[in-house]
Chain A
Amino acid sequence: MWTSFSYLVINLARQIRADERTFSGVNSTLPMLACLLAKRAYDFPFTYLNVSGGVNPLPSKIPHSSSDPLLNEGSASIFSNQDFYDLCARGGLDLVYLGCAQIDGRGRTNVSVIGNTLAPKVRLPGGGGAAVMLPTAKRVVTWRTEHSPRALVETLDFVTADGNMAALITPLAVFAREPRPGTRFRLVSRHPEATLANITARTGFRFDAGYVPVTPPPTERERAALASLDPDGAFAADVNPA
């Protein structure tokens, strides 16, 4: 059965497609685990690029930070910041994982400020390239470990980035949208214990939902790959409720 942690990582991994170029950046431990899980659990090839400059790395141990140099181990090249930003800008990245503090129903993100722009209640870390990557990557996927009306909002406090958002994964649900202007998220599947009413109550933005199936359970290979990446449960403990 799912935990919040396994639901997030495995559903992030399920966004990866064969033969595509996939990128995960800073402060992105869950997407890092998703990319490493996909390499172990899925039979298709894909290019996994990371912010440390690694290309299809085979790290000897799994780092806590998604920008750790361990993510270069086994890589035959270093494809570092200038290269991966430029690759994205010229349309050469298929799937990019980008984090968010707030997200709206159109897939726009806020990683800049909560509250007033000039006198913010909280100053956030900033986009880290999001304003360039969200519109230029072919598909962007984001995640929140907190599924709440303050994170999933109808109106952002500040629009850091707008563009080709394709999916939002939370511990309760998988939302998706066509990555083109004017589209909104629809609820495509849900955690088996989350009802539509519960998800709606905890989501600040309006979304489309017809019949919403339960997310397919983790496969044996997905489960085994995740266990191999987190043998002592340290990553899971950061996400799962105590």
Chain B
Amino acid sequence: MSLVSGLRAASYGVPFLPVAGIHGSDLPQANGWKKIADPYGSGQEVYVIPAIAPDVTVIHANEVDAEGNARVYGTPFWDHPLTRAAKRVLITAEKLVTTEHLARQPELTLVPGFLVEAVAIVPNGAWPGSMHPYYEIDYPAVERYVDESPGALERHMAEAPEVREMVNRK
């Protein structure tokens, strides 16, 4: 929540944003967060989180058109504040679709193309994570990924969908 407050502050164009809770946590001291008195006189104190504007946000979408309009099915998690707070936005997506397709239900477009700098079509790009409703998480691949034995990371990388696609193209 405190991270999101920082992203929201950046997307709202303000230097910081109040956030509920936090009292009693060691996080303010660890992060240098300040608290301020309610200027309207309730007597409450509230922590304020400084704005966080990512240099680049990259999100993986279900569908994108050539102009960068990106649609996400299922939950968008924090894709909305992340794409609004960032200085630059890049989209990877499962499918390239037409603008006409997106225009039939424009309210499903999460990121408008005018905010997007570049697009890449990467089928299975969320692997080994899930991409609703196309594929579920690949737990065996995650287990191989977290294996710390020599060569495990290299084997994981060699399994990645974009790498396999390059091999198939050769």
Given the known inter-chain contacts A86-B84, A89-B12, A91-B13, please indicate yes or no for A72 contacting B106, CB distance below 8 A: yes
Does chain A have a CB within 8 A of B14? Answer: yes
A79/B13 in contact, CB under 8 A: no
Partner of A78, one of B11, B106, B113: B106
List A contacts of B67 (CB < 8 A): 76
A76/B14 in contact, CB under 8 A: no
List B contacts of A86 (CB < 8 A): 11-13, 84
Does chain B have a CB within 8 A of A4? Answer: no
Does chain A have a CB within 8 A of B48? Answer: no
Chain B, residues 1-33, CB within 8 Å of chain A (1/0): the string is: 000000000111110000000000000000000
B106/A75 in contact, CB under 8 A: yes
List A contacts of B112 (CB < 8 A): 55, 76-77, 79
User: Which residues in chain B, 81-104, are within 8 Å of chain A measured between CB atoms?
Assistant: 84, 99, 102-103
List B contacts of A136 (CB < 8 A): 13
A76/B13 in contact, CB under 8 A: no
Q: Count chain B CB atoms within 10 A of each CB in A47, A79, A90 and give the residue with the most.
A: A90
Does chain B have a CB within 8 A of A21? Answer: yes
List A contacts of B109 (CB < 8 A): 76-78
Smallest CB separation, A136 vs chain B (Å): 6
Q: What's the tally of chain A residues with a CB closer than 8 Å to chain B?
A: 19
Per DSSP, are chain B's interface residues mostly helix, strand or loop, or mixed? helix
Bound Cα distance from A90 to B12, whole angstroms: 6
Bound Cα distance from A3 to B21, whole angstroms: 60
Bound Cα distance from A190 to B16, whole angstroms: 45
B11/A77 in contact, CB under 8 A: no
A77/B12 in contact, CB under 8 A: no
User: Which residues in chain A, 158-212, are within 8 Å of chain B measured between CB atoms?
Assistant: none
List A contacts of B69 (CB < 8 A): 76-77
List A contacts of B12 (CB < 8 A): 86, 89-90
Smallest CB separation, A149 vs chain B (Å): 36
- Seen from chain B, the residues whose Cβ lies within 8 Å of a Cβ on chain A are 10-14, 65, 67, 69, 84, 99, 102-103, 106-107, 109, 111-114
Beyond A21-B114, A55-B106, A55-B112, 10 additional pairs, beta carbon < 8 A? A74-B103, A75-B103, A76-B67, A76-B69, A76-B103, A78-B107, A79-B112, A88-B13, A90-B12, A136-B13
User: Which A-B residue pairs are the 4 nearest by beta carbons?
Assistant: A90-B13, A89-B13, A77-B109, A77-B112
**Sample (16) of A-B pairs whose CB atoms are under 8 Å apart:** A21-B114, A53-B106, A55-B106, A55-B112, A74-B103, A76-B69, A76-B99, A76-B106, A77-B69, A77-B109, A78-B109, A86-B12, A86-B84, A88-B13, A90-B12, A90-B13
